[in-house]
Amino acid sequence: SPRSAEPEPNPNPNPNLDPNPNPLTLSRTLAPSLALTRTLTFTLRLTRTLTLTLALTPKTPAAMVSILDGEVHRTWRLDDADGTPHRVVLYHDTITGVRCITVDGDEVTGSMGTSSVLNASMTIQFPVAGRDGVVLILRNGIFGFRYQCKVGGKFLKEANDEISATQPSSAFDVQVATHVQAASSGGEPVAWYLVKARREADGAATSVHRRYRDFAGLYESIVAGLKGHHAARLVPALPGKHLKLVIDHADPAFLKQRERALSQWLQSVARIPHVAAAQTLHTFLGLFEGTREVSLHVASGSIGCTLQASRSPNLPAIVTTIRPELDGAGVRVGDVLTKINGYATVGMGFHHVVETLRAAPRPLVLHFLQMVSAGNGEDGGSAEQKVVDGAGDHELEEKVKAAPGASPPARSAARQAAVVASRKDLSASTGLYDAEL
């Protein structure tokens, strides 16, 4: 029988596909595959971009603030090679654009200027601890800013981000103990609230008078330093300010009520770790950087001490002797008089200070600074006390050491005798003199 014909191979092995497809049908069939390919390509490019961005960005993201937030403070800390701490602070008003930088409290030359929403991102250079530093004011979208600081090529962690979750909730024991009144420049009485603070780390303590406006300044600084940070929600509102036309600010009941409210507010903010670590709170409490601030309420008559001139206009008057009535008041030989009824004595000159004290109506409030060693306790007798001679803003004339093993009164007498002896030589060579007030 003849062989059956072999079937010819099918040129179209898939019977579901048209051997002569319509171009329009084919494009619709391949469109999903092309779209997927494009999506994968875009995803790969985006991944590479994000990887590069993360490599160039500090590990801790900078907190963003709005252009309507107003005054903002940012702080970065670093140590130099020998362990000396340094502090870089940026002040920026997001509304007006005004900004400047300070390093260890001194304004960086050329840092004053404006960085508003109309400007591009700004770079401000500065030297610190022998290294080059830069603060970046970066635009974050259309309506925001964020801030970064880099020293020696490395990004620094912002101070608020350094606070550990395990850090103690409060570094200070604080209270507003009482209030007093003193005459203002216009002759009207103003209220001063006595703030008592003790640092838990070393037991250092002080008592210092503050006005309500000082509490308001502290509140504004705390808020400015925490804007854009989650801890900002923890800050309670400051007890309200009332118009004098509505409420008599000299009314004892009103003053007592405000005293209690301010004490509760201060205790609340001091328990926030981010606030407890802030320099603004330390300065307000009068315990900062080896310095203690104390104040004295003079009800009438003499201020109870003798002052002597300094060679520096920044430190015009120094305590040289103390009368017995000031025992236990906190003022010591070598203290620098810094404020008279809240007005700074910087630049006044010694003669102006003396005349102001003599003419000022009583009662009045005086503020002093004590330069003491770190780790000094409440007594202060175990630490060296530094007496400033005024030859330079930060120079020290001498170190007066407490008599070893002596009781606190004996230590005080030893300090006073040493200062008076050295001041006699100083007065003889400079023509300066003591003023007993």
The pLDDT assigned to 16 comes to 52
CB 151 within 8 A of CB 158: no
DSSP string, 117-130: TTS--EEEEEEETT
Nearest to 380 by CA among 280, 294, 305: 294
**For residue 145, how far is the Cα from the chain centroid?**
20
pLDDT of residue 315: 83
More confident residue, 54 or 376: 376
Highest mean pLDDT among 32-36, 46-50, 160-164, 268-272: 268-272
- Alpha helices (H) along 247-403: 252-270, 273-276, 279-285, 350-359
pLDDT of 308 strictly over 90? yes
pLDDT at 434: 64
The helix or strand, by DSSP H or E, that contains position 39, with its residue range, turns out to be: helix 23-56
Of 7-11, 123-127, 186-190, 394-398, minimum mean pLDDT range: 394-398
Question: 55-72 as b/e, with b when 16 or more CB fall inside 10 Å?
Answer: eeebeeebbbbebebbbb
- 90-131 pLDDT, tens digit each: 999 999 999 999 999 899 999 999 887 677 788 999 999 889
pLDDT score, position 22: 56
pTM equals 0.72
Burial 277-289 (b: 16+ CB within 10 A, else e): bbbbbbebbbbee
Q: Considering just the CA atoms, what is the radius of gyration of the chain in Å? A: 33
Residue 373 has a pLDDT of 60
List the one residue out of 269, 246, 242, 272 whose CA is nearest residue 257. 242
Average per-residue pLDDT in the chain? Answer: 76
Q: What is the pLDDT of residues 143-185, one digit of tens each?
A: 889 999 999 999 999 998 887 654 555 589 999 999 998 877 6
| Alpha-carbon gap, residue 358 to 364, rounded angstroms | 11
* Chain segment 189-226, per-residue pLDDT in tens: 899 999 999 998 888 999 999 999 999 999 999 999 99
Q: Which structure tokens are listed for 405?
A: 């093993």
Work out the number of other CB atoms within 10 angstroms of the CB of residue 349: 13
pLDDT digits (tens, 9 = 90+) for 351-378: 999 999 999 989 999 999 998 764 445 4
> What is residue 54's predicted lDDT score, i.e. its pLDDT?
37
